[in-house]
Amino acid sequence: MFFLCFVHFAVYLLRHDAERSTADPLVKSAMKALQDYQSSGGGALSSDPQLVALFALPFASNPRQHPALAHIFHPSCVAVSCVPL
């Protein structure tokens, strides 16, 4: 659940502002926090097939268009509810 909170906050600004890009300093900061979490213990979750695509999020240059990530930008999706636990 903690991992999904990091995902939520990493994409929040991108989901709610179509003009914002991954180059935005606030987005970069959120993606860095997600990446830091992944490398400091959260990486154990990468073996979960339902979560593995989310590990690409900090590295995707355009996550809105990435086939494995696009669903988390859909208006009806909240990261915590879009991945069955």
Asked if 34 and 10 count as a contact pair (C-beta separation under 8 A), the reply is yes
pLDDT at 85: 47
How many domains is the chain partitioned into structurally?
1
Structural domain for 69, as ranges: 2-82
Global pTM reads 0.77
pLDDT in tens, 46-58: 788 888 888 889 9
Mean pLDDT, residues 32-49 taken together: 84
Q: Among 58, 56, 71, which residue's Cα sits nearest to residue 28?
A: 58
